[in-house]
Each structure stands twice: as C-alpha cells, then as structure tokens.
Structure 1
Amino acid sequence: MKVVDMHCDTISVILNKKREGENIELREDILKMKKGDYLLQNFAMFVNLQNVKNPLEECLSLIDCFYTEIEKNKDMISLALSYDDIIKNKNEGKMSALLTVEEGGTTCSSLSNLRILYRLGVRMITLTWNYPNGIGWPNIDLSNKKGQDFHIPNTKDGLTNFGIEFVQEMERLRIIIDVSHLSDAGFEDVLRYTTKPFVASHSNSRSVTNNVRNLTDDMILKIAQRGGVIGINFAGDFLEEPKTGKRSRSKISNMIKHIKHIVNLAGIDCVGLGSDFDGIYQDLELDNASKMPELEKALKLAGFSYNDIEKIFYKNVLRVYKEILK
C-alpha cells in the first residue's frame, strides 16, 4: 500500500546532527521509507522562533540541508513541485519529497519572503507553531510564562491583518495552507478569508482526545466540506490523554479510534496521514516509516475496505495536491 505522509521533522534532526555530531536514529530515512512503500513524504522545515536569532536564515539552512539530502539519494527520491511531478517520479520508480515549512513566522511578516520560499520550492506552510507570530496565534503559546493548558483553546486571537493577506497570497501562489497548531479563532479566519481546500497536516480529533492540538468536530466537518484533509498525528499525547505525570504511548489502536471518529463524522474522503516522525515523543508502537504496513493491517481488521485504506494512506491527500499543486 502506497503511503503519503503530510508531516515529519526529519530534516531538523539531520541538520542538528550535523551541527552537534549527535548520533540519533531517524524514524524516517530513505531505506525505511522504501520498505514502507512510500509514494511521497512532506518534509517540514521546522523553526523554533525562540531558539534562533534569524528565523528566515534558519529556514534557508534547513532548505539547503533538504536539497543536499535529496541529491545524496537522487536514485530513490526526487523533489515534487506539482502533482504532475509526483506522478512522473512514481513512473520513474522514485519516491517524491514535498518541501514544507512548519512556522509561518520564518517569513518575518514579509510577503516577498513568502514568494521567495515558493520559488525555492516550498509548497505547504504551517501558519504557526507554538508561538504567536506576525500571521496569527496558536492554541498553545509556549511564550506564556503562566503555563499552558492543553484543554483550553484560544477562541479570541486569530489571524492578524497581515495574516489575512498572507493566506490569500498563499492561495494565489498555490501554497497549501496548513492549520495544525493554529488557534481555534485562526481556523475560523482561514475559513472566512480563503476559498480553496486547506489541510491540518498533523492533527487528530478533540472529541476522542481532549487536547487543543486536535480538531473539534465542527472543524473536521468544515475541512471536509472545503475538500481538505486531516493527517492523523502519531504523537501519543494527541492520541490518548496522558495520565498524571506520564506521557502516553502511541498505539495503533488509538490511531484507529481517531480515524473511525473522523470517518463516521465527516466521511472517508477527509482523512490522511501526518505521522510527525522525528518530531514527537518516541514511545511509539508504530515506531518508524518501515512499519506502515502494520497500520494497514490494523485498519483491515477494524473493518475498513481496501478502497477506504487507499484513500487514508494516499488517495485523499493526492486529491488535494492535484487540485492545488499545478
């Protein structure tokens, strides 16, 4: 079964390994992807705004690392700038890599920087991470010294005036808008000021697990009605509420619960995969990209048809990419 995964943080780990000489095993590497039968992986350029002096410069360093890794593995994987590139790469027996950015603040509130990132190959942007930026507010604000409550969403602070311009320019450029991490108010603003399908690349159901990084039923329905897709996040704490003082183990059975809820609520066409490999707590039952057939097997046992699993594993995301990435 082919796999399209909308989110991983592997490039950040690779760059940090190069800088610090750490020997960290990747959950997502070219051989694991090959074994897992990947068609396409979105590689996020993740920038922590609080840890860098110049977020755009850090983003460019990550993009350079991304292209270096693609060149090293060019016999097995190629860049995709459009849906047609994905099909071309597949026909040549190669996997595809989609360049994405996790933190719209890397553009430093500049539409010209957004356009430059597009010219460098960026085709999806997660509008915020866990800090406010010039575009808008997240649900969890790590700069809030009073602490974070993962049960209380931000329903007040949405997109800024610049953020409205930003998402409209993303649509014009055909960069996919990603609302994972965005505040609840920001979600509503994206819905209000855009017209094309958008995604939550790595988010789950808030009704199943009450965490503001997950989506309410209303959000899920609105993404589905817009023709977008939701990538199931493999992070344990987003799949099952952690017990006091402990992190939750990521279990396949809990992934199935979230998928079932979303499908029963909004239909089979709005669910995809967004593992967040190499960016999440590492106690994972499905612990790397080579193990994706285990999720396929579990979905079959849960009563999903082959056609349904194809949609979850790759067809739903490809449908959105075909519409936007032209």
Structure 2
Amino acid sequence: MKNLLQSTLLACLAAGFLPATAQDDSALLKKARKIHEKAFTLDTHADTPMLLSRGGFDITQDNDPYRTNSKVDYPRMRKGGLDAIFFAVYLGQGPRTEEGHATAKKKAFGIFDAVHSSLKATTGEAELATTPEDAYRIGKTGKRAIFIGVENGYPMGHDLSILKKFYDLGARYMTLCHSSNNDICDSSTDPKGAEYQGLSPLGEQVVAEMNRLGMIIDLSHVSDSTFYDVIRLSRVPVVATHSGARAICNHPRNLTDDMLKALARNGGVIQLNLLSDYVKTIPASPERTAALDALMKKYGLKSRMGMASLPEEEQKKARAEFMELNKAYPVQLATVKDAVDHIDHIVKVIGIDHVGMGADFDGGGALADCFDVSQYEAFTVEFVRRGYSKKDIEKIWSGNFFRVMKAVEKGATPEQIGR
C-alpha cells in the first residue's frame, strides 16, 4: 500500500501541479517501490527471540515500537517489505565455568524452543527456512521466512558436538563471541583486552567443525586478530552478520578497509548494522551516560546486553527501568543516509558483491528514519537515489548473502553432516 506521501506526490504529478524537483522525487519513489516489491529482501540479524522467550509478546500483532520496545513482528515485516530474517539465539557472556556453560546451554536450547514454538503457533504467517531455496519457496506463499543463527559460542562450552545440535535445530550461522572474550576467541570490546591474540586452540577446532557442518562463521563482535585467524583457517566464505565500516564510524565492532579486503578475498560478505553508535559517532549525552552507568551499577552489569544474563525477575525490572531511561534521555539516532554512507564506502573498497543488511533490530538497531522493520523501504529509496541499479539492490538485499550460504553448504557433504 502506498504511503500518504507517495499517494499525494503521484496525484499531484498526474494533475501537473508539481515542480520538476518534486516530479523527480515522485519518479524515484515509484521506481524504488517497484524494485523493493520485486527484490527478495533479507535481514541477517535480529534479537527478536529475546522477546519470544520472555513471553507476553505477540509477533502476529502490529506492535508499537515505542510502547513495546520491539522492532520486529510479522505485520511490520510486511509493511517494510521484508521477506526473510535471521532470528538470533543470543546469550550474553557469563561465567566461563562448567556450571556457567551448562546454564548457558540450557538457556540457548530454551530460546530455540521459543522460536520453534512460535513458528508452530503461527503457521499461517511464517515458516522456518534453512536454505535460500526454502526462503524463495516460503516467500511465494506470502509468508515470512525465518532463519536461525546463534549469537555467541559461549553456550557450546567445550563440547563441539553441540554445534551439530544447533545445526539440527535450524541454526545456519554462529557468531563466535559477543562483547567479551569467551573460550573460543577474543572479542573486539572486552575491556580486559586480548586473551589469545585471536582464536584459542578450541576456537580453531570450532572453525573446522563449522566448516564441516556447513554452518556459516559469523565474525561480528570478534577482535581484529580473531578475524584474521578465521580468514586464514576457514576453507569456505565467512560473514559479519551485523557490522559496519570503521573508516566511516571508528568503532572496534566495525571492519577496517584491510579487513574488508580480506573478507572479499575470502568470498565473504558484511551485513550492515543499524545500531546508531556503530553507524555514526554521536556526541554522548552526559545525563544519559550518568543514568545508564547508574543502572548498570545497580544490577552489576558491564553493558545493557548483559541484562539477558540476569535472573528473570531482575531482568524484567532492569528492562523496565531501561525503557523509562530511554524516555527521559532519548538517544540521538543516526539516519538512513548515514547508514548508506557505509554501503557506499564498502562498495568503493571491495565492490557490490560483498555487502548486505543485518540491522540488529531488537538488539539496539534503530535509526531516526528507519526505527523498526516497517520502514525498511527507506533503504531501497536511498539506494536508488544514489544510483544503485536494480541488480545491485537485489545483491544487497539477499543475493550476496545467499551466495555465501550456498558456498558454505557445498563445503559440507550430507555424509559429513550426518556423522
């Protein structure tokens, strides 16, 4: 359905009331809408399972993002023209002990259960996908295609066989770590710094096993040294499911130009994160920073993502307080234009074949003019505005990532996966 702006512009154009610039805008919007409707669109990272596993969230309803603090549901996916999305089984980093790993593993399987239960309860709306072919088939029915990824290898502990269990439950990628080092590798943001100078010996085994299974290795969140270790060892392409260009926003979560070039040589792809702090360097608000520091101190956390590791009742309280904090001290957000600056830079450095979209919605991703998944068409409009062709846009929206998926699938034989 055309929005009010488009309808008004087109009506005025037909009546001959618009100046040349407005006529140009109307033609651009019409072209962008046509491309967006025909392209198969994919987002490779959303933390929506955190909402599903907590209960009380109806993914079949058009939820208000400001009231519910949610960015993804099926009605809003349809509004934004998003065909497919990866739901992340996310675990914050906890104690690296036998007990800690056991607890994390139990929680991870609980999140898988929540995703599968939700899909079973909404068969008319969405369906699990594990291959590009699945996604295309599901898309033709009008349903949303739901992929699964695992964010943070922490819950596997030291047991490589858990990776096969994740794979069997539908996971097609795993992010090796999160905001802190784990037993697999160094993180890009651990305040203690490097522990292994890249991958640990266990991490090297994880790379080999994921290659064997046909599970994509996700390098978002890892340190630069870990990135290069994986590039050296992986025999199939790898990805960064929700990252950006460090040359545009100097954050350790983003990739340098040298890393981008190494990723391209590997055949991989970087999917653009829409968390504003990674999109644009935004001046800090002293009031918000102080309030957030106080909240983190109150619950003994190092970052907001650590809320997921709190006991259930404390977690509810902390999240409620965080929502109130956001109302009192709203964060300044980057824009779609700021985000597409990253796409432009990546394309300039390594070409159109190595970039896509991975917003990190429900995990912090949000822009001023793409606050949730319902506004995703704004990106296609900006791509058209900047001269990207229909073929280019189709590559960004899913073609590049699906190419990697197929390459990783071919790297593992059915016999190997069944072992």
Question: Do the structures match in fold with TM over 0.5?
Answer: yes
- 8 A contact 1:240–1:248 mirrored in 2: no
Q: Once superposed, which parts of structure 1, at least 4 consecutive aligned residues long, lie more than 4 Å away?
A: 153-156
1:61 pairs with 2:61:
no
- In structure 2, the partner of 1:16 is 54
CA drift at 1:18: 4.2
Change (3 A) 1:50 1:156: closer
Cα pair 2:336 2:367 within 8 Å, conserved:
no
Please state how far the C-alpha of 1:282 moved relative to its aligned partner. Answer: 4.8
Change in CA separation of 1:64 and 1:164 when aligned onto 2, cut-off 3 Å: same
Indicate conservation of the 8 Å contact 2:274/2:367, yes or no: no
Shift in Å, 1:71: 1.4
Return the alpha-carbon distance in structure 2 between the equivalents of residues 266 and 117 of structure 1.
32
Residue ranges of structure 1 left out of the alignment (5+ in a row):
145-152
State the identity %. 32
In the alignment, which residue of structure 1 is the partner of 2:177?
Answer: 128
Tell me which of 47, 56, 70 is aligned to 1:26: 70
TM-score, length-scaled by structure 2:
0.71
Higher helix proportion (structure 1 or 2): 2
Shift of 1:90: 2.5
Structure 2 residue runs without a partner (length 5+): 1-35, 58-66, 287-330, 411-419
Matched residue pairs, number?
Answer: 314
Distance 1:237 1:18, change over 3 A: same
| RMSD of Structure 2 on Structure 1 (CA) | 2.1
CA distance in 1, matches of 2:138, 2:409: 15
The correspondence of residues 134-213 of structure 1 with structure 2, limited to 5 A, is 134-141=183-190, 144=192, 157-213=197-253
Residue 4 of structure 1 corresponds to 42
Q: Could you tell me how far apart the structure 2 residues matched to 1:56 and 1:81 are? A: 22
281 and 305 in structure 1: CA distance in 2 versus 1, 3 angstrom threshold: closer
Paired residue type of 2:132: Y
Which whole-Å CA distance do the structure 2 matches of 1:136 and 1:72 have between them?
A: 37
- Please give the secondary structure, in 2, of the residue aligned with 1:49: coil
State the SS of the aligned residue for 1:88: helix
Cα offset, 1:26, TM superposition: 1.8
Report deviation, 1:283. Answer: 5.7
Instruction: Report matched runs for 1:71-110 at 5 Å.
Output: 71-110=120-159
- Structure 1 residues 325 and 28: CA distance shift in structure 2, 3 A: farther
Which stretch of structure 1 is more off in the superposition, 50-59 or 7-16?
50-59
The question of whether the paired residues in 1 share the 8 Å contact of 2:210 and 2:216 is answered with yes
Post-superposition offset of 1:82: 2.3
Distance 1:297 1:288, change over 3 A: same
- Tell me by how many angstroms 1:311 deviates: 1.1
Aligned to 1:229: 269
Shift of 1:126: 0.3
Cα gap change, 1:242 to 1:25, in 2 (>3 Å): closer
What is the CA distance between 1:314 and its match in structure 2?
A: 1.6
Question: What TM-score do the two structures reach when normalised by structure 1?
Answer: 0.91
Secondary structure at 2:77 match in 1: helix
In structure 1, what residue type is equivalent to 2:171? Answer: V
Per-residue deviation at 1:156? 6.5
Partner of 1:150: none
Larger Rg: 2
How many angstroms apart in 2 are the aligned matches of 1:162 and 1:17? 35
Helix, strand or coil at the partner of 1:312 = helix
Partner of 2:334: 250
Asked if structure 2 preserves the Cα contact closer than 8 Å seen for 1:241 and 1:248, the reply is no
